[in-house]
């Protein structure tokens, strides 16, 4: 049985910016205590924690390379020490580097895979061992696994792997009452998405969506909040939060 009386606790990787920040803000608004993880920008994570606590919420800063199992174990330890346990892992941490497959520097490929595949595997492994009954793991993919835009080859390959990890882990956690799902955003107005794109490219992607706009980080956070909270019968799924992008 899920414990609905105790405040729930979430750890959000990549929680210091973009979609991660919106997820932290939404979960804190929903009453979660939140571990705000950062890899390279401690100041932004600290500012967000100050914002959450000033509004009456509870949050702590934790850091570390998501691909480093020791650093992430320490992050889990810190959240558990602060709040007594962890119920939800939201893994928004990721990197995107674009380029044609024929020309991509293989060092860039290794960087993408280290963060997006190994990083997801490391934090999911820790979550599988440590989340409380009634918990939820929410990973992140991309709608480009279906739209197959050129130049996204390495990034899409890494996110297809994330979807595979999700589907297997959901079945491996049979009997633990822990759900495992992936959110696959479409074009969303974040620095990660906008970096390197001119206005014409941004406009084309916005026009490709039937709702005729880019997604907002808050749109994606709403999907995460659903999976982290009431969506106990949604498990082993990839949810496309993309405004109807084909």
Catalytically annotated residues: 155
Q: Could you tell me which residues are beta bridge partners of residue 37?
A: 62
Please give the angle made by the CA atoms of 203, 208 and 212, to the nearest 5 degrees. Answer: 75
Tokens of residue 112, six digits: 């993408």
Please give the distance of CA 107 from its chain centroid, rounded to a whole number. Answer: 24
The tokens describing 20, both together, are: 């991660």
Question: What are the residues whose beta carbons fall under 8 Å from the beta carbon of 96, sequence distance 6 or more?
Answer: 112, 155, 192, 193
Residue 189 CA to residue 155 CA, distance in Å, equals: 18
Q: In what order do the strands lie in the sheet with 88-91?
A: 58-63, 33-38, 9-13, 88-91, 136-140, 179-185, 238-241
CA 92/CA 79 separation, integer angstroms: 17
């Amino acid at each position: 049985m899920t414990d609905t009386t105790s405040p729930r606790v979430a750890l959000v990787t990549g929680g210091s910016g973009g979609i991660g920040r919106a997820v932290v803000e939404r979960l804190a608004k929903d009453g979660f205590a939140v571990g705000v993880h950062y890899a390279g920008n401690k100041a932004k994570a600290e500012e967000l924690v100050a914002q959450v606590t000033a509004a009456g919420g509870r949050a702590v800063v934790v850091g570390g390379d998501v691909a480093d199992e020791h650093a992430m174990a320490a992050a889990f330890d810190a959240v558990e020490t602060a709040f007594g346990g962890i119920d939800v892992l939201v893994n928004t941490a990721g990197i995107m580097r674009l380029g044609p497959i024929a020309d991509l520097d293989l060092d860039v490929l290794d960087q993408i895979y280290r963060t997006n595949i190994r990083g997801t595997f490391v934090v999911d492994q820790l979550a599988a061992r440590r989340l409380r009954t009634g918990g939820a793991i929410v990973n992140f993919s991309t709608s480009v696994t279906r739209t197959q835009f050129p130049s996204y080859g390495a990034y899409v390959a890494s996110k297809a792997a994330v979807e595979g990890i999700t589907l297997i882990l959901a079945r491996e956690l049979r009997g633990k009452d822990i759900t495992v799902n992936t959110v696959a955003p479409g074009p969303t107005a974040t620095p990660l998405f906008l970096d390197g794109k001119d206005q014409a490219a941004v406009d084309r992607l916005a026009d490709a969506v039937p709702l005729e706009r880019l997604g907002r980080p808050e749109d994606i956070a709403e999907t995460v909040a659903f999976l982290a909270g009431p969506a106990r019968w949604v498990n082993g799924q990839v949810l496309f939060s993309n405004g109807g992008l084909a």
